[in-house]
């Protein structure tokens, strides 16, 4: 299981929202750190795989420049095919070892290393940090994801079980098959204390749903080294880089911990040390750290000056109310899946929150009405003013700016440094973002205008290329009906396949309307 294994079993295509330069820059800005505008930045991705992530970024920011590097020839060949098929002109993919990279690529405003650091030898890890330091512009940002302790300890136990058994076999398909057999064997026969049994079963249940490629490369790779957060920060500091924040600000928020924990950790002066304690308390297993040059000042008090100038969005739904008058909301995070007829959802758990604050309630209602549509402070202020005829605009903005820090650090609101033109209503001739239409032709995984993964079913994938702004709702509907009549797609009613055109048109018209609204709510429509 080494780097050549990626040529035998390529890593699946994926888009990682946390690598979006505009969102990384916004988080840095909230921490008082300046960064380059994403729209004109130079961006390097180390370990770019087949280019799915960096190509989507290149499509989002056509005036920026992107360079992807990967050791696998298979990955790079697939990536170059993607570049050619989409016509992207602002990206270069290179097959090279990280160890061989020097100054030839120039300097970059953003350097991304997602899913690489923990999975390479120590000398390559050191080289990654050195590249990030030497190739980073003065206001540049680095993004590195990696496995962390103590949370990785439980996974490490299961990993070692799989590798012990799979080592008896040579071919990747045999190793994967036997690793899964080992997981099943342990799950069915584990003994010992109740705690041990439950921990192992929980981890095996999580791992069992992984794809073969994820299991083989991420969990059974020769190198998979977790680190304590403070050790990673120390390694970065040694090379002249400073820790800014984690992409997931919500995991750093003390408000979700007990009163005793909040009281104790609020006295810890070093923010990095406090975060290490939080990792201990939460059994954290994964981090997505943002770094900058060590001479850049970092502030962790989010005030009005940092909040202004950015754009905020949320994937938020109102779910009801409570007896004490609090309004309940649900916020989701993860890859969205969209199906037709009338199904859409999220691949990860939904977080809930409630509030009795009138201001926060109004803010959250605005974001439920503008799902995944970034809004500026000025737009939010105007929206709030429309619901209050008595308050003055300055008073409304002051209340807004006072309420937003908690919503940001709780992870309810996400920030981006770039305005994003998302259609919140559906036109008669809907237009899906061009890169998502192109990706839908090639497979069922696309990305939206916020660089988030969207998984499509067969029907949505077949219809999306038609949503280019030239076909009306009725024309797309007729195409949908035709696909069902000729058997390409199927629609069932009372468990029977519907083939009558008129009945199909009646059934699919409502489904199509809901689909369009779902695409709009998931930042896929530009018109």
Per-residue pLDDT tens over the stretch 300-337: 889 999 999 999 999 888 777 776 667 777 776 655 77
H or E element: which one contains 189?
A: helix 172-189
Cα–Cα distance measured from residue 313 to residue 376, given in angstroms and rounded to the nearest whole number: 9
Under the banding of pLDDT at 50, 70 and 90, the label for residue 342 is very low
According to DSSP, the β-strands at 343-346 and 336-339 are antiparallel
Cβ burial 355-387 (10 Å sphere, 16+ → b, else e):
beeebbbbbbbbbbebbbbbbebebbbebbbee
DSSP result, 3-57: TTHHHHSPPPP---GGG-HHHHHHHHHHTT-----GGG-EEEEES-TTSHHHHHH
CA atoms in the 13 A half-sphere facing the CB of 461: 16
Cα–Cα distance measured from residue 411 to residue 316, given in angstroms and rounded to the nearest whole number: 11
Averaged pLDDT for residues 55-61: 98
Q: Residue 311's closest CA among 22, 18, 64?
A: 22
| pLDDT-above-90 percentage for the chain | 64
Averaged pLDDT for residues 104-117: 96
Averaged pLDDT for residues 479-492: 93
Long-range contacts of 171-177 (CB under 8 A, 24+ apart): 172/1, 172/5, 172/8, 172/9, 172/216, 175/1, 175/216, 175/220, 176/212, 176/215, 176/216, 176/220
Please report, to the nearest 10 degrees, the dihedral formed by the alpha carbons of residues 446, 447, 453, 454 taken in order.
-50
Cα–Cα distance measured from residue 195 to residue 207, given in angstroms and rounded to the nearest whole number: 18
Under the banding of pLDDT at 50, 70 and 90, the label for residue 349 is very low
Residue 104, SS3 per DSSP = coil
Under the banding of pLDDT at 50, 70 and 90, the label for residue 348 is very low
If you average pLDDT over every residue of the chain, what do you get?
A: 89
- With a cut of 80, say whether residue 256 has pLDDT above it: no
Instruction: Say if CB 109 and CB 137 are below 8 A apart.
Output: yes
Residue 320, SS3 per DSSP = strand
- Output DSSP code: residue 294: T
Q: Determine the pLDDT at residue 1.
A: 41
* pTM, 2 dp: 0.91
Helices assigned H by DSSP within 346-470 = 358-369, 377-385, 393-409, 434-442, 458-463
Cα–Cα distance measured from residue 469 to residue 491, given in angstroms and rounded to the nearest whole number: 26
Long-range contacts of 172-181 (CB under 8 A, 24+ apart): 172/1, 172/5, 172/8, 172/9, 172/216, 175/1, 175/216, 175/220, 176/212, 176/215, 176/216, 176/220, 179/215, 179/220, 180/208, 180/215
- 3-state SS, 475-513, equals HHHHHHHHHHHCCCCCCEECCEECCCHHHHHHHHHHHHH
Averaged pLDDT for residues 212-218: 82
Averaged pLDDT for residues 63-79: 95
Please report, to the nearest 10 degrees, the dihedral formed by the alpha carbons of residues 130, 136, 142, 147 taken in order.
-10
What is the end-to-end Cα distance of the chain in Å, rounded?
Answer: 47
According to DSSP, the β-strands at 91-95 and 492-493 are unpaired
- With a cut of 70, say whether residue 118 has pLDDT above it: yes
Under the banding of pLDDT at 50, 70 and 90, the label for residue 217 is confident
Instruction: Say if CB 109 and CB 84 are below 8 A apart.
Output: no
Cα–Cα distance measured from residue 159 to residue 225, given in angstroms and rounded to the nearest whole number: 12
Cα–Cα distance measured from residue 430 to residue 525, given in angstroms and rounded to the nearest whole number: 7
Cα–Cα distance measured from residue 432 to residue 519, given in angstroms and rounded to the nearest whole number: 8
Q: Strands across the sheet with 65-70, in order?
A: 91-95, 65-70, 42-46, 108-113, 136-147, 286-293, 241-246
Tokens of 278: 């939080």
Q: Residue 124's closest CA among 71, 52, 74?
A: 71
User: Phi and psi dihedrals of 261, rounded to 5?
Assistant: -65, -40
Tokens of 306: 């940092």
Residue 109, SS3 per DSSP = strand
Cα–Cα distance measured from residue 136 to residue 196, given in angstroms and rounded to the nearest whole number: 45
Per-residue pLDDT of 176-196, as tens digits, reads: 999 999 989 999 999 989 889
Averaged pLDDT for residues 271-286: 91
């Amino acid at each position: 299981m080494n780097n050549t294994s990626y040529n035998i079993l390529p890593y699946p295509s994926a888009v990682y929202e946390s690598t979006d330069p505009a969102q990384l820059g916004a988080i840095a800005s909230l921490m008082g750190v300046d960064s380059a505008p994403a729209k004109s930045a130079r961006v390097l991705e180390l370990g770019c795989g087949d280019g799915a992530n960096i190509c989507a970024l290149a499509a989002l920011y056509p005036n920026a420049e992107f360079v992807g590097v990967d050791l696998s020839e298979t990955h790079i060949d697939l990536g170059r095919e993607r570049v050619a098929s989409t016509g992207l002109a602002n990206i270069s993919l290179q097959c090279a070892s990280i160890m061989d990279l020097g100054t030839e690529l120039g300097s970059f405003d953003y350097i991304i290393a997602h899913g690489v650091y923990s999975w390479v030898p120590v000398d390559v890890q050191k080289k990654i940090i050195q590249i990030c330091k030497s190739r980073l512009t003065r206001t540049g940002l680095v993004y590195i994801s990696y496995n962390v302790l103590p949370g990785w300890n439980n996974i490490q136990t299961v990993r070692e079980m799989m590798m012990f058994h799979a080592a008896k076999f040579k071919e990747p398909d045999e190793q994967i098959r036997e690793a899964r057999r080992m997981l099943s064997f342990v799950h069915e026969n584990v003994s010992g204390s109740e705690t041990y049994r439950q921990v192992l079963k929980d981890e095996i249940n999580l791992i069992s749903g992984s794809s073969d490629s994820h299991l083989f490369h991420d969990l059974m790779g020769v190198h998979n080294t977790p680190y304590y957060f403070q050790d990673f920060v120390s390694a970065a500091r040694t090379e002249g880089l400073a820790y800014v924040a984690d992409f997931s600000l919500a995991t750093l928020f003390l408000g979700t911990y007990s009163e005793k924990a909040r009281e104790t950790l609020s006295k810890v002066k070093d923010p990095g040390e406090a975060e290490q304690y939080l990792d201990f308390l939460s059994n954290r297993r994964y981090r997505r750290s943002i770094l900058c040059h060590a001479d850049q000042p970092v502030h962790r008090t989010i005030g009005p000056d940092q909040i202004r100038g950015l754009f905020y969005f949320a994937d938020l739904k109102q779910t009801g109310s409570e007896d004490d008058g609090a309004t309940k909301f649900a916020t989701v995070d993860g890859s969205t899946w969209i199906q037709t007829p009338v199904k859409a959802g999220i691949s990860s758990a939904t977080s809930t929150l409630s509030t009795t604050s009138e201001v926060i309630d109004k803010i959250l209602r605005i974001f439920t009405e503008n799902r995944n549509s970034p809004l500026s402070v000025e737009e939010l202020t105007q929206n709030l003013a429309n619901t209050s005829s008595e308050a003055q605009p300055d008073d409304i903005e002051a209340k807004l700016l006072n309420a937003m820090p908690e919503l940001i650090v709780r992870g309810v609101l996400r920030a981006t440094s770039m305005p994003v033109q998302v259609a919140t209503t559906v036109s008669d001739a809907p237009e899906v973002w061009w890169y998502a239409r192109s990706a839908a032709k090639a497979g069922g995984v696309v990305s939206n205008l916020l660089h988030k993964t969207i998984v499509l079913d067969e029907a949505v994938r077949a219809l999306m290329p038609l949503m280019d702004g030239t076909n009306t709702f009725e024309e797309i509907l007729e195409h949908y009906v035709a696909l069902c009549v000729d058997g390409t797609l199927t629609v069932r009613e009372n468990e029977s396949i519907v083939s009558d055109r008129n009945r199909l048109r009646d059934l699919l018209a409502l489904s199509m309307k809901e689909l369009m609204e779902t695409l709009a709510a998931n930042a896929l429509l530009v018109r």
